[in-house]
Amino acid sequence: MKRHPQTTLFTPARSENRDIQLQLLMVQALFSTLYCTGVISGFIEVRVLPAAVATLTVGGYQLAYAAYVVFVRLREGRIDWVERCLPGAILTCLAFAWVSTGELGSPIWVVLPVFVIAQAGRIPLVRYTYFIPYMFVAVVVATLLIYALSPEAFSWSTAILIWAIAAGVAITAATTLKQLTAADNRARSVAETDALTGVANRRRFFRQLEALATQERNDPYAILMMDMDNFKRLNDTGGHLYGDESLERAAQIAKRCLNEGDLLARYGGEEFVALLYGTDANGAFVVAEQIRAQIASKLPITISVGVATSSQGNDPTAILQLADQQLLLAKRSGKNMVRMRPELGTAA
């Protein structure tokens, strides 16, 4: 029986995330630099605010954003309330730059919808969701502010055209978001599914295990560690294709024994692991024994199972190790059996 090292929750490549953060920073820095330079040089005329106020506001935001990216994001950190506010802060800065000109037809307004479209696929979907409605609201509010601050330069026909364009961009972005979400779900499903057996893979199991570690509620759960007995002999006598077929059938048998919502994963090689939610020790033993008995009666191979429950501790990784220890005892005690700490309940 092969033993596999523990792994942590899968995370995206740090180099890819770093590149995206730097690209976003450079795009915003370019806009801020062009705006501030234009205002200072007089190329961009600000009609409703002093030039110093306009440049300090946009430049100050850019410096704050750059500091957050460099000292927090690029160091793999995050501040939750800042992350929630960033989509609105970015678009608010762009809208402010537009309003400061007091000119409805200023090219600056185009940056808002263009920025939203450009971020599709470049930032987390959760944050991108906020961009779409906020962009449209920012455009509408900005046009009304321009009307209030500079009515002589205002045109309702131009405002309605701008609103129509912003609405079209919002609809397009929403469609893109839907497609990105579907693609992300498909990619996650493929990345977290074992190709041979069709059950979850090791990566998904550890993601669920990590979620258990962070949950506030203390609902009971159990972990079953399972290993096919004498699997190498089955491969040697029947061939690897026959061995693969036996693994697939064993996975389907075990899956049918679980409740909806429980997780079955291929841990590696001929090993499987099951995460049973809302299950105490006796319930876990019944499920484990059912899996063992059905595989023994329907396949030319047997399985050994180790059981551990959340009543043995608060650390899910430690519970997994306890289940693994019980599996080793089952293998050493003759195989084709379920082992569980006797004080937890009925045990073989």
Residues 6+ away with beta carbon under 8 Å from 318: 312
Q: So what's the pLDDT on residue 330?
A: 94
Q: Coil, strand or helix: which one is 64?
A: helix
Contacts of range 67-75, beta carbons closer than 8 Å, 24 or more positions apart: 69/21, 69/22, 69/24, 69/25, 70/25, 73/21, 74/18, 74/21, 74/22
Q: So what's the pLDDT on residue 172?
A: 83
The type of residue at 277 is: Y
What's the mean pLDDT in 81-110?
87
Q: So what's the pLDDT on residue 343?
A: 54
Q: So what's the pLDDT on residue 47?
A: 85
Across all residues in the chain, what is the average pLDDT? Answer: 85
Residue ranges with strand state E in the chain = 221-228, 263-268, 271-277, 303-309, 338-340
Q: So what's the pLDDT on residue 331?
A: 94
* pLDDT tens digits, 14-32: 444 677 778 888 888 898 9
Q: Which phi and psi angles does 341 have, rounded to 5°?
A: -55, 125
Residue 12 has pLDDT above 60, yes or no: no
For the annotated catalytic residues, the residue numbers are 270
Contact 245, 263 (CB under 8 A): no
Q: So what's the pLDDT on residue 285?
A: 94
* pLDDT tens digits, 176-229: 777 777 777 787 777 888 889 989 999 999 989 888 887 766 788 999 999 999
Q: Indicate the pairing of strand 221-228 with strand 303-309.
A: antiparallel
Q: So what's the pLDDT on residue 312?
A: 84
Residue 8 has pLDDT above 90, yes or no: no
* pLDDT tens digits, 69-86: 889 888 878 888 888 788
Contact 219, 256 (CB under 8 A): no
Tokens standing for residue 312: 């043995």
Instruction: Return the sign of the alpha-carbon dihedral for residues 261, 265, 271, 275.
Output: negative
Q: So what's the pLDDT on residue 286?
A: 95
User: What does DSSP assign to residue 305?
Assistant: E
Residue 33 has pLDDT above 70, yes or no: yes
Question: How is 170-232 classified by DSSP, letter by letter?
Answer: HHHHHHHHHHHHHHHHHHHHHHTB-TTTSSB-HHHHHHHHHHHHH-SS---EEEEEEEETTHH
The type of residue at 213 is: A
The answer to pTM > 0.75 is no
